[in-house]
A and B are shown apart, each in its own frame.
Chain A
Amino acid sequence: MDTVTLLNVLVAGLLTGCVYGLSALGLSVIFGVIRIVNFAHGEILVVGMFMALVLFRWIGLDPLLSIPVVAAVLFAFGYLLQASVIQRVAHLPEHMQFLLLAAIAIAMVSGCLIVFGPDAQNVQLDYALDSFAVGGLIIDKTRAYAAVAAVALAAALLAFFRFSGTGRAIRACADNYLGAQVVGLNVSRLYAFTFGIGSACIGAAGCIILLLVDVHPYLAPGYTLLAFVVVIIGGMGSLFGALLGGILIGVAEALAAEMIQPSLKSAFSFALLILVLLFRPQGLLGKAGR
């Protein structure tokens, strides 16, 4: 393979990886604060994709422009889910929480099947086949836009946690639960808010992924798994880690697809996962376990 092809593959992988990173951020935020492993992650993402699809078919809205609407609806969904159901199982053992979230996931996939059917569907954008030529590199317009949107949203999310009062209060809850109670933070409301933010983030990633992938309900479990791989590689609970993990997986998949076989690309992400678990089990940017 010549250098130009290699560079093209690397760039495409990097751009896709940014979107994986944004999706994984949604998982990481929820786990990092509430300590709930969101097994309905991929399902929320697929619901986001379908919502963007509907908005495109209905009023011709570009999936990137549908992000505010989809994110707002999924924020409300995540908020209510945490406040009404998940909060009640917070004190139960983890396998009970797993059952609840797995049930929610099954219900969501079944709902999508009833409404949209099992076939793959996509959006036909007028710029779908366009590309930018930078030097010898050829970059798909959709992939470039997707990456820019993903990075911008990830930056906005990180800024929210760093600089806003609510973001700080959420970090405080994650840092010291007892301390948060002592200063009178409304922990259950902040948890609901966090689940909402995480869901909104996943939904936004869904809108963006719709530029690159055809949507059908059975995509969901695969995306849940992918987000887990990304988050474990990057480091559980580390937001920058989720982004880094996403980019690594994007590049690894693109390289594997080009150099070996497209159907083997997942094998390479799992190989990367095994390597990280063997040599740095806390993840690349994660803190060592207590």
Chain B
Amino acid sequence: MTESLLGIRDLDLYYGDAAALEDVAIDVPLGAIVCIVGANGAGKSSLIRTIQGIEKPRRGSIVFKGQDITGWPSHKVTDLGIGQVAEGRQIFAGLSVDENLEVGAFLPRGRAGKAAAKDRVYQMFPKLAERRGQIAGTMSGGEQQMLAIGRCLMGRPELVMFDEPSLGLAPAIVQEVFGIIEKLNAEGITVILVEQNVAVSLTLASSAYVLENGRIVLSGSGRELLHHEGVKQAYLGM
């Protein structure tokens, strides 16, 4: 059995009286790409926000690297090595490219290896290096997505959660983004991928979960789900 990096058990999240997540259990092995599939409003982003400590669960446990991090504040979770590339990119539009990266390395974990991390990001995304002084909000959507990924890497995460990274991007850029995710994974970063582009993400995924109305209704390897009749009908339009 492979070593588990992140384990979630019996997780319930409520917004007031409304359940957003119920009984969610997920296992993320070290070095894996775990894909979470689901319709809009199924609770995918809520799950990611709960893992990062932005939302507080009502019940259940989240264990990362053997430590119970349930209910931890997000700055402590992030400092332990969980990064997020959020839906809609959420870059700091009024700050320069370089400042965005600097803020990504604000926590002690990121600060420790800031210079090396920045070199690596600029090497990986030469476009960002060219535009390091540019105000981030004036760049194209694809460039902003690269910046969001670069900013996340500045925190030197071991686990990166991508929330809809291809949303609103041109097909060529989408290809590039998936290429980057594969490359980061090959370099040793464990990945949780939430994607509307189900066919591509299941191809990448080592394992996958289907989330419906806040509950996990199906799980298996990426290949299994890709050929599952229900998944084909609901998410692949076949």
Contacts and interface: CB of A to CB of B under 8 A. Distances in A.
Interface of A: 165, 168-169, 171-172, 175-176, 178-186
B23 interface: no
Contacts of B111: 165
Contact of A169 (B84, B93, B106, B152): B106
B38 to A, nearest CB: 20
A181 B73 CA distance: 10
B106 A182 contact: no
B73 A186 contact: yes
Contact of B54 (A171, A175, A181): A181
A165 B104 CA distance: 11
A179 B86 CA distance: 8
Contacts of B164: none
Contacts of B93: 175-176
Given A165-B102, A176-B90, A178-B90, A184 B107 contact: yes
B75 A171 contact: no
Interface of chain A, main secondary structure: helix
B107 A175 contact: no
A48 to B, nearest CB: 30
Interface in B155-201: 155
B150 to A, nearest CB: 11
B74 interface: yes
Interface in B71-124: 73-75, 77-79, 83-84, 86, 90-95, 99-100, 102-104, 106-107, 111
B151 interface: yes
Contacts of A172: 92, 95, 99-100, 103
Contacts of B104: 183
A136 B104 CA distance: 55
Contacts of B54: 181
A183 B104 CA distance: 6
Interface in B21-69: 52, 54
A48 B92 CA distance: 35
Contacts of B86: 178-179, 182
Nearest to B88: A178
Interface residues of B, number: 28
Given A168-B95, A171-B95, A182 B103 contact: no
B121 to A, nearest CB: 14
A290 to B, nearest CB: 12
B56 to A, nearest CB: 13
A95 to B, nearest CB: 23
B107 A176 contact: no
Contacts of B100: 172
Contact of A171 (B78, B83, B94): B94
Nearest to A178: B90
A183 B74 CA distance: 9
Given A171-B94, A175-B92, A176-B93, A183 B99 contact: no
A184 B75 contact: yes
A172 B91 CA distance: 9
B142 to A, nearest CB: 18
A180 B94 CA distance: 13
Given A181-B74, A184-B52, 4 more contacts: A171-B94, A175-B95, A182-B86, A184-B83
A183 B102 contact: no
B106 A185 contact: yes
A81 to B, nearest CB: 21
A277 to B, nearest CB: 25
A177 to B, nearest CB: 9
Contact of A183 (B73, B94, B155): B155
A183 B78 contact: yes
30 contacts: A165-B111, A168-B99, A168-B106, A169-B103, A169-B106, A171-B92, A171-B94, A171-B95, A172-B99, A172-B103, A176-B91, A176-B92, A179-B86, A179-B91, A179-B92, A181-B52, A181-B74, A182-B86, A182-B152, A183-B78, A183-B104, A183-B151, A183-B155, A184-B74, A184-B77, A184-B78, A184-B83, A184-B106, A185-B107, A186-B75
A236 to B, nearest CB: 15
Contacts of B73: 186
Contact of A168 (B74, B78, B102, B152): B102
Contact of A184 (B92, B95, B102, B155): B155
A257 B111 CA distance: 54
A92 B93 CA distance: 27
A169 B79 CA distance: 15
